Amino acid sequence: APLFAIGAPQAQPAASNARVSPAGAFVSNVTLTVTDPRQLQASEYTLAQSGGAWQLTRLSDGFAQTVVDGSVVDGFRIDLGAPPPAATDRYLLQPVTYAANSMARVLDDPRGIAAASPVTATAASANTGTAAIAALTVVSPSVDPTQTATIAFTSGTGNYNWELRDRVSNALLGSGSGTWSAGQPIALNGFELRLSGVPAAGDAFTVAQTAVPSASNGNALALVALRDAALVGRVPDGSGGLAGGLDLTDAWAQAMADIGVRTQGALSASQISTQVADSAKQALSNRTGVNLDEEAARLMQFQQGYQAAAKVLQVAQTLFDTLLEAAK
C-alpha cells in the first residue's frame, strides 16, 4: 500500500477562456499526467497559442517550446482534450504546485509496508567462477514473482542463456541469450541482477519468488537507498537516458537557499522602496507643506498690518467728522 498521497497536477484555465454559457463550465480543458517524477521541475508553466501553435513557457527561466496534444515535457504529459481549446484560450499548468500542499498519510497499519522484495536471487552451489550476487533490484511494476528466471553462463567471457518458467507448472514462458559485462546488470522480468567477480562457463543463477517474506528486507533497503538517489530535476541526456539531478537532501537544501535568497532580495527591495518613498514624501512636504513658525510670523505681520489700517480709518473718520462740524 502507498505510504502517502500527494496533490495531483493541475491545469488552471484563464477566466477569459471559452465557456458553455457566460457563467457555465469551460468548453475545453487541459489535463496533466506525471510520466517521470525524476524530471519534474520546480516551476509552473503557461500554455497559449502563438503563431497558430501551442507554446509552453516555463516560468522559472522563461524557456519556451512548441507542444501538441500528448507532448511530454519535464516529466509530465499534456493532453489538450476534446474538443480542443480555442485559439484564444490560455492555461496555467501546475505539475508540482499542489503536491506538498495536499500531501497526506494514507497508510495507518505498519503491516501494510511491503518490506520484503518480491523476488530473491540465488547462486547455484556448483558454480566454479568468482561471480557472486552483488544486488537484485526491482525496477518495474511489471515484475512477476510467479515466473522463475534461470541465467546459465555458457562461457567465461560473459555469454549466457536465460529462461523464464512458471513457478508452479515449470512451463517454459520465454528464453533467450545475452552477454554480461562487468558493471552492467542483467535485466529480465522487471528486475536487474548485478554480479561481482567473473562467472565461469556452467555457472548459473536463479531469480525466483521470495520464499520467506518475513526474512527479506529488499524493499526496505530500496526505500532507504532513495535517500541518496538523484530523484529531483533530472534532464534527458540526449541518448535516451537521464543526467544530473539532486537527491532529496540536496534538493531540499537548494530550495531553502533559493527561498532565502528570494526573501532577502524582496526585503532589500522593500527597504529601498521605503527609502525612496520617504524621500519623495519629504520632497513633496518641502514643496507643499506648511512651516508653522513661518506661518506664525506672517500671521503677526498681517495682524499688525490690519491694526495699522484700522488706525488709519479711525483717524480718517475723526478728520471727516471734524470737517463736517466746521462746515455747519
Q: Is the pLDDT of residue 155 over 90?
A: yes
pLDDT of residue 44: 95
Average pLDDT score over residue span 35-51: 91
Average pLDDT score over residue span 222-238: 84
Average pLDDT score over residue span 81-106: 91
pLDDT of residue 101: 83
Q: How far apart are CA 318 and CA 172, in angstroms?
A: 140
Strand partners, 78: 32
Q: Which of 100, 131, 269, 139 is nearest to 197 (CA)?
A: 131
Average pLDDT score over residue span 130-147: 92
Average pLDDT score over residue span 58-76: 94
The verdict on pTM exceeding 0.85 is: no
Between 151 and 296, residue with greater pLDDT:
151
pLDDT of residue 13: 95
Average pLDDT score over residue span 59-65: 93
**Cβ 282 vs Cβ 274: under 8 Å:** no
Q: What is the pLDDT of residues 209-225, one digit of tens each?
A: 999 988 888 888 888 88
Q: What is the pLDDT of residues 255-287, one digit of tens each?
A: 899 889 999 999 999 999 999 999 998 888 777
Strand partners, 47: 56, 91
DSSP state for residue 232 in the 8-state scheme: B
Determine the straight-line distance between the first and last CA of the chain, rounded to whole angstroms: 126
Strand partners, 208: 120
DSSP H or E run through 269: helix 248-288
pLDDT of residue 110: 82
- Burial (CB count within 10 angstroms: exposed 0-12, middle 13-18, buried 19+), residue 247: middle
DSSP H or E run through 208: strand 204-209
- Exposure string (b/e) for 81-120, b if CB count within 10 Å is 16 or more? eeeebeeebbbbbbbbbebeeeeeeeeeeeeeeebbbbbb
Between 187 and 286, residue with greater pLDDT:
187
Q: Is the pLDDT of residue 120 over 70?
A: yes
Q: Which of 75, 97, 82, 84 is nearest to 12 (CA)?
A: 97
Q: Is the pLDDT of residue 1 over 70?
A: no
pLDDT of residue 179: 96
pLDDT of residue 248: 86
Mean pLDDT over the full length of the chain: 90
**Cβ 86 vs Cβ 28: under 8 Å:** yes
Q: Is the pLDDT of residue 141 over 90?
A: no
Average pLDDT score over residue span 61-79: 94
Average pLDDT score over residue span 35-60: 92
Which residue has cell 511494476?
141
Question: What's the longest Cα–Cα distance across the chain?
Answer: 159
Task: State the Cα angle at 176 between 193 and 178, rounded to 5°.
Answer: 55
Share above pLDDT 90 across residues of the chain, in percent, rounded to a whole number: 58
pLDDT of residue 286: 77
Q: What is the pLDDT of residues 173-182, one digit of tens each?
A: 999 999 999 9
pLDDT of residue 255: 86
Question: What residues contact residue 48 under an 8 Å CB cut-off, 6+ apart?
Answer: 54, 55, 57, 89, 90, 91
